[in-house]
Chains A and B, each alone.
Chain A
Amino acid sequence: MTDPSAGPLITTSAREAVPGQLRAEPLLKIRDLTVTFASRGRATVRAVDGVNLDVAAGSTVGIVGESGSGKSVTSLAAMGLLGRRGVEIRGSVDFDGSDLLHMPEQELRAVRGREIAMIFQDPMSSLNPVLTVGRQITEILVRHRGLSGRQARDRAAELLQSVGIGDSLRRLKSFPHQLSGGMRQRVMIAMALACEPRLLIADEPTTALDVTISAQILELLRRLVADTQTALVLITHDLGVVAGLCDRVHVMYSGRIVESAPRRPLFADPRHPYTTGLLASVPRLDAPRGVPLLPIPGSPSDTLPWARGCAFSPRCTRQVDACLGAPPVLEPLALPSHLLRCVNPVPPQKLLG
C-alpha cells in the first residue's frame, strides 16, 4: 500500500503549507479556495476560507468537521454547484490539469457525472420521487456514455447488481419510495459510479442511515473505490467513518483546515484541541466502563472571525492569550505531513497506538 501523503513537502505559490502534497501531480488540487456568501442587507459569511486540498488518484481523503464548518460548501464550490447569485468564489480548483472554477458551464456539465460524481446525505430526497430508479440511472448513461435503450437498461441492471441490489432488472422499475433507505443510498452510489468517475465526492453518505446499513454502505464504498482506483473525498462529521476508510484526514473548523494528517498520525497523535475534542466525543466500545463522553463545550456558532484570532478559541479548553489577535498559521509538525493550525497544541500523546 502506498501512502500518498508520505512525500516531502513541496512549496507552492500558496500562502500556507499544503496538506497532502504528493510526489506525483494530484488528481484534484484545490488552492486557496475561498467562498463568501453575500446577500443584500446582511453580513457576508465566509463559509470557506483559504482551503488547500490535494487528492491523489486512487486515494481516499476525509474532510471532518461539525455542521457549518464549510466542508460541504468546499465540495459544492469545487463542482461549480453553488450558483452565481450572492456567492463569491476565489482560488483555484484544478482537476487533472483543467481549472474547474473558470470552466464554461457546458464543459463543466460534461465533467460532472463522468469524471467527478457526488453522493449526498439524504438518499430519499436526492432521488426524484416521480421517476423509476431505472430511468434515473439510464439518464446518466445516455447522457455521458451515449448508450441507448436496451444497452442502457442492461448496464443499469449491472450497476445495481454491483452495489448489492439483487433482482436488479425488476428493481429498475421501482420508485424511490418503494426502496429502503440503504437501498436508496445504494442506488445513489450506482448512479454516481455509472460512468466510472475518477473522483467521487461523498457528502455525509451515511448520516441518514442506521448503524448497520451505514457500515454496509461504507464497506461498499471502500470496495468500489479499491476495485476501480477511484479517488474518494469523504465528507463527514463522524471520525469513526473516517477511521476505517481514509488515507488522509483534514479537520475543518469555521471554514479553515485546522489539522491535517495521514490517518494513523491523526488518530494516534491528534494535536489540535478541536480534533481531540471530536475524538473524545465519539463513543468507543473499548473504553473503560463508566467513563463519560466529553462533549466540546459551546456550539459551532460560537466562533471568532479568523482575522481576530483562532475561531475555535471561544470553545477551546486550552485557550491562551496568543490565540487572540492574529490568525494562527497552518504549519507542519515534526512529521512533515502532519499540519496543525494551533498556537497551544495538545501535547504529543500515545492514545491509540
Chain B
Amino acid sequence: MSLTAGVELAAGERSEQAGGLYRDAFRRLRRSPTAIVGAGLVLLFVFVAVFAPLLAPYSPTAVDLTDIRPGVFPGPSAEHPLGLDQLGRDELSRIIYGARYSLLIGVVSLSLGAAVGLTLGLLAGAFGGWVDSLVMRLVDIMLAVPSLLLAIGIAALLGPRLISVMIAIAVVNVPIFARLLRGSMLAQRRSDYALAARSLGVTRSRIVLQHVFPNSLAPVIVQGTLALATAIIEAAGLAFLGLGSPDPAIPEWGRMLAETNAFLASAPLLALWPGLAIVLSVMGFYLLGEALREALDPKLRR
C-alpha cells in the first residue's frame, strides 16, 4: 500500500516538475469562478464564430418576405427564434455570423497592434537611452489623441472598409502595448536575477531576450485579452457611426445595432440582440483578463 502511495507521490511530483510561472498561473486560473465564467463566454463566442455555417439556421443574407410589411416586424417564432429584421432576414443567423466579424476584427487588429506595439516596447525597454526617449515621445503623441477619435480619423482617412476598421483599432493598441512592455521590462531589468546574470557574464542581448523579456510578458497577456474586448466595442462603435464596411450583407453587430435605430419603438428586440451579443462577448474577455491578471500576479505566488 505504501508502495502505491510512493508511486502516486512520484507521479504528482513529476507533473509539478513540468510547471513554470505560466503553468502555475493556469492551475490557479482553473480554480477561479471568474475565470471559468469568462472562459466559458469566450469559448462560446469563438465556437459560434468558427462554426457559424453549421449553427445558423438560415443564410445571413437570405430574405424571407412572406411576413414583412412596412412597420411590422415579426417577433420571435418557431422558425425564427429571434425574429426577422427590417429586411426579412433571420436575426439569429445574422447574430451568429456577426460573431465571425467581431472575432476577425478583434484578432487581426490585436495581432497588428500588439506586434507593432511590442516591437516598439522591446526596443525602448532593451536599449533605453535615446531610443527609449524617442519611442516613448512617439507613444505619448499617440496617447494624447483620444482612442476612439483616433480610430474614427483613421477609418475616415482610409474609407469605410473592414480593413480600415482593423487598422484603426490596431493603431489605437500600439501605444498601449508599447508602454506596457517597456515599463514592465524596465522593472525587470533592475531585478536581482538580471544583476546575477550580468555578474556571471551573460551577454546583454541574452539578458534582455532570455531573462527580462519572458518575465515582462505577464501584464502583456492580460492586456491582450482586455484589448480583444475593447476591439469588439470599438469595431461596433465604428460600424455604428457608419465607418465600418458599407456592404449591407455583412452582419456586423455594431451596424445591426445602428440600423435598428429607426425602428426602436416598434421593434426594440432587434436592438437588444446585437447589444446582448456585444455585451456578453466583451464581458467574457474582461472576466478572463481580470482572472488572468490575478493568476499572474507575482504577489499572489507562494
Asked if A pairs with B, the answer is yes
In the complex formed, the residue of A with least CB distance to B194 is A128
Q: Inside 8 A of B131's CB, which chain A residues have their CB?
A: none
Q: What A residues does B6 contact at CB under 8 A?
A: none
**B192:A191 contact, CB within 8 angstroms:** no
B residues in contact with A79, CB < 8 Å: 199
**In the docked arrangement, what's the CA distance between A139 and B16, Å?**
23
A180 on the interface (CB 8 Å rule)?
no
Is A143 close to B, CB under 8 A?
A: yes
| Contact present for A139 and B202 (CB under 8 Å) | yes
- B210: min CB distance to chain A, Å: 7
Given contacts A126-B196, A131-B211, contact A112 B201 (CB under 8 A): yes
Chain B: interface secondary structure? Answer: helix
B21 near A129: Cβ-Cβ < 8 Å: yes
Bound form: Cα–Cα A243–B238 in Å? 73
Task: For B19, list chain A residues within 8 Å (CB).
Answer: 175, 178
Per the 8 Å Cβ criterion, residues 236-287 of A in contact with B are: none
The listed residue with most A CB atoms (<10 A of its CB), out of B24, B202, B206, B214, is: B202
Cβ of A215 within 8 Å of any chain B Cβ, yes or no, is no
Best-surrounded residue of A130, A174, A178 (most CB of chain B within 10 A): A130
Interface residues on B, range: 20 to 34
Interface-lining segment among A24-32, A116-124, A155-163, A219-227: A116-124
Q: Mark A86-127, 1 if CB is under 8 A from B, else 0.
A: 000000000000000000000001111110011010100111
CB-based nearest A residue for B196: A126
Chain B nearest CB: distance from A261 CB in Å? 29
B24, B193, B195, B201: the one within 8 Å of A114 (CB): B201
Q: Are A118 and B199 in contact (CB under 8 A)?
A: yes
Tell me how far the C-beta of A130 lies from the nearest C-beta in chain B, rounded to whole angstroms.
5
Interface residues of B in 196-210 (CB under 8 A from A): 196-203, 206, 210
**Within the assembled complex, what's the spacing in Å between the Cα atoms of A212 and B145?**
59
Q: A126-B193, A170-B17, A175-B19 are in contact. Are A192 and B198 (CB under 8 A)?
A: no
In the complex, chain A residues whose CB is within 8 Å of the CB of B198: 81, 112
Decide: B21 and A140 in contact? CB cutoff 8 A.
Answer: no
Contact A129 B192 (CB under 8 A): no
**B133 in the interface, Cβ–Cβ < 8 Å?**
no
Contact A178 B201 (CB under 8 A): no
> Interface size bucket, A side?
35 or more
Which residue of the partner chain A has the closest CB to B198?
Answer: A81
Q: Which residue of A has the minimal Cβ distance to B18?
A: A173
Cβ contact within 8 Å between A192 and B21 = no
Instruction: Determine whether A315 belongs to the interface, using a CB cutoff of 8 Å to chain B.
Output: no
Task: Tell whether, in the assembled complex, residue B301 and residue A143 are in contact, meaning their CB atoms are under 8 Å apart.
Answer: no
Q: Is B12 an interface residue (CB 8 A)?
A: no
| CB of B31 within 8 Å of the partner chain | no
B59 at the interface (CB under 8 A from A): no
User: Is B61 in the interface zone, CB < 8 Å from A?
Assistant: no
Q: Which residues of A contact B211 (CB under 8 A)?
A: 128, 131
**What chain B residues lie within 8 Å of A109 (beta carbons)?**
201-203
Tell me the bound Cα distance from A8 to B70 in angstroms. 111
Whether A143 touches B203, Cβ cut-off 8 Å, given contacts A120-B192, A175-B21, is yes
A177 interface contact, C-beta 8 A: yes
* B261 contacts chain A at the CB level, 8 A cutoff: no
Contact assessment for A111 and B201 in the assembled complex, using a CB-CB cutoff below 8 Å = yes
How would residues 134 to 178 of chain B score, 1 for a CB under 8 Å from any chain A CB and 0 otherwise? 000000000000000000000000000000000000000000000
Contact partner, B201, options A127, A131, A144, A175, Cβ 8 Å = A144
* B20–chain A nearest beta-carbon distance, Å: 5
Check B266 for interface membership: any CB of A closer than 8 A: no
A188 in the interface (beta carbon within 8 A): yes
Per the bound structure, the CA–CA distance linking A122 and B91 in Å amounts to 61
* A185-196 vs B, Cβ < 8 Å mask (1 yes, 0 no): 000100110100
13 residue pairs of the A-B complex, CB under 8 angstroms, read A79-B199, A113-B200, A117-B199, A120-B196, A128-B197, A128-B215, A130-B214, A132-B20, A140-B201, A173-B17, A177-B21, A177-B24, A192-B200
| Contacts beyond the supplied A117-B200, A128-B197, A143-B201: 6 A-B pairs with Cβ under 8 Å | A109-B203, A117-B199, A120-B195, A144-B201, A175-B19, A191-B200
- The 6 A-B pairs of least Cβ separation, nearest first, read A113-B201, A113-B200, A112-B201, A125-B192, A118-B199, A126-B196
